[in-house]
A and B are shown apart, each in its own frame.
Chain A
């Protein structure tokens, strides 16, 4: 960028940087990829991923997507494993507060953009909201088919028998499908998609979600999307239907029996308790009581 960047001084953001860190040409390139991704739900669109001021695996893909869709009027929420107060969430939230000067929040209902790693908020999302996922590995077939060119061909021909072989093997050996996170989904009846490493518990929330879901994989340089109200089906067999797993326990803080729980070891004598992984949801329930 030239020194006279037009947005640099606007809105009290960091001088010397363009609004939301990325330069406008990069944002335009990413928005093009996003438009294509929304037009072909579940299809992985390549994009020129940029070097970001944090390491790969920390959310470079998600940050680039957020930077390209965020505007000065947006309110941002960032979660990591459901929590607003973990290192990754705090750093990314602070990053955007500095480079874009946007309002940030911990309430899922108040946010217009939610960047997430490993969870979907328990709060039902509404129209107009955007959920941005950080994706480490966008290719759902990568453990089954090591050749990238071949996985592309399988996607192009909708040849997904291989994924079902994996589910078959799980049931034959363990009696049930043993994938507990990153559970593969079929988007719009056409593309097999990795939902990013969210727990299988969250998969049903993706189906016909009113909010727009965007997925960014920085290291693998892929973007994909699920437009609002699109069908997202977890793969299963007719006689072994998909069952989202959840421990039979209640949250030790708010008593919730329907939210996703983290198991916390409390001492070295086998003591443990379950807590809501979604801190905003848990705090909201405790405030109500």
Chain B
């Protein structure tokens, strides 16, 4: 995408859960403005990789480097909890598969969007409300529902609210874990459209974990295919999906149900 230095650079990641290798020598780079999808079946190590990259889980070996907005290169593992929290609050975003993990269900939609702003020091009530209303509009939620609780929203709305809450501080890197899982197809299609537009608008770098090849094809520029903790194939999305080289990728692609 960009010939800049990578925003995230991981190398030699190893992680075992007992006898099970979750990550076995994984290396991955993400450049600014790029959407990278991690594809694989359940238990292939996708989510473990995401957690290691975001500093939530320490690997047995290997390192992750993050280049922040000022251009400084920081080691994600071992930067200290305070620095990591600052990153999570300002430059990173997380979209969870289950919106209930990413939202405060007892806090109004506006409060959910405003929380990240307040966490980074916004102290003007009117300003926070205006920003929240603007973001609700951008994710196609009626701003009139701003003071409603997210528990009264539909699944698709909750997921869109989670996206608004994540993007309101304009992060540089967003981690998404199966953002469309558990939604019906038409809602899923609209959500994918929305994510694609926002990502292009904001020039976000996105690391997307999914087992859904259609989602990967629609959103991702590059694809990383994982199996049993190893990267078995990676490359441009269209190249990997149209001309899969590894037998496992061939199996994945051929298993897609045609409508």
Contacts and interface: CB of A to CB of B under 8 A. Distances in A.
B115 A165 contact: yes
B197 interface: no
Interface of B: 81-82, 85, 89, 104, 107-108, 110-111, 114-116, 118-120, 123-129, 146-147
A168 B104 CA distance: 14
Interface of A: 153, 156-157, 159, 161-162, 164-165, 168-169, 171-173, 237-240
Contacts of B126: 239
Contacts of B128: 168, 237
Contacts, number: 53
Contacts of B118: 161, 164-165, 168
A238 B126 CA distance: 9
Interface of B is mostly: helix
A143 to B, nearest CB: 11
B104 A165 contact: yes
Contacts of A171: 125
Contacts of B89: 159, 161
A125 B107 CA distance: 40
Contact of A237 (B104, B107, B115, B125): B125
Contacts of B82: 156-157
B85 A159 contact: yes
B114 A237 contact: no
15 contacts: A157-B81, A157-B85, A159-B89, A161-B118, A161-B119, A162-B115, A164-B123, A165-B107, A172-B129, A237-B124, A237-B125, A237-B128, A238-B123, A238-B124, A238-B125
Given A157-B85, A173-B147, A168 B123 contact: no
Contacts of A239: 124-127
A165 B126 CA distance: 14
B110 A237 contact: no
A168 B125 contact: yes
Nearest to B126: A239
B147 A165 contact: no
Among the interface residues A157, A168, A171, which one has the most CB atoms of the partner chain B within 10 A? A168
A156 B85 CA distance: 12
Nearest to A171: B125
A172 B111 contact: yes
Contacts of A153: 81
A153 B125 CA distance: 26
A173 to B, nearest CB: 7
A4 B228 CA distance: 74
Among the interface residues A159, A164, A171, A240, which one has the most CB atoms of the partner chain B within 10 A? A164
Given A157-B82, A157-B85, A169-B107, A240 B115 contact: no
B110 A172 contact: yes
A73 to B, nearest CB: 46
Contacts of B104: 165
B111 A237 contact: no
A238 B123 CA distance: 6
B130 to A, nearest CB: 11
A155 to B, nearest CB: 12
A159 B90 CA distance: 13
A165 B112 CA distance: 8
Given A157-B85, A239-B125, A239-B126, A168 B114 contact: yes
B111 A168 contact: yes
A237 B127 CA distance: 10
Contacts of B115: 161-162, 165
Contacts of A157: 81-82, 85
A13 B228 CA distance: 76
Among the interface residues A165, A169, A238, which one has the most CB atoms of the partner chain B within 10 A? A165
A170 to B, nearest CB: 10
